[in-house]
Amino acid sequence: MKLKNYVKEGQKLPLFGIGPYLIYSMVFLSILCIVLFAYVFQIGIVTGASAWVFRIVGVILVLLGAFIWYKGALGSDMDKNISENRLCTTGIYAWVRNPMYSGIWIALSGAGFIWHNLFLLPLILIDWLFMTIVLKNTEEKWLLKLYGREYSEYKKRVNRCIPWFPKEGH
């Protein structure tokens, strides 16, 4: 069964956007790095009590990422907003502009911690940079073209990828 990327006639944005390609790329890179550093080269592995700290932080990040993804994907009316060409700025979207991507990124970061390997830590920054570059050059351009000033003001209040308290006064 093929999922439709447009729900109805007149819809201006694709339902999935660049998402699947971005997420699959990040997941592939994460799996590749985990296999290489933890199993093939077996370097950077943290042992002892520190390994448990890494694992606990990892589990917390995976759960937090899953929660953020859920709130963006299933706990909001995002599909309805997209099909009706409305900008969603409430709920989790008042805290982060891209909760589904952010949730995956945070969960992947947590997975890196679970494997308690120092060589996986730079992957957090690499994934963030990759995600930022892709979003700035694709979906953000689409949204700015479609919503103009409304989206421009929204960008000033809400972070792209890191959930945070909305900035007031803009």
pTM of the model: 0.89
Model pLDDT, residue 4:
46
2 part of a folded domain: no
Cβ(121)–Cβ(65) below 8 Å: no
User: Quick check: is 27 in a domain?
Assistant: no
Give the sign of the dihedral formed by CA 137, CA 94, CA 76, CA 88: negative
Task: Determine, yes or no, domain membership for 136.
Answer: yes
Where in the sequence is the domain holding 91, given as residue range(s)? Answer: 49-157
152 domain residue, yes or no:
yes
User: Hey, what's the torsion of the CAs at 140, 99, 53, 45, to 10 degrees?
Assistant: -50
The answer to whether residue 8 is domain-embedded is no
* pLDDT band, residue 42 (cuts 50/70/90): very high
- What's the token pair of residue 143? 């949204």
Residue 88 located in a structural domain: yes
State the total domains in the chain.
1
Rounded average pLDDT over 93-120: 97
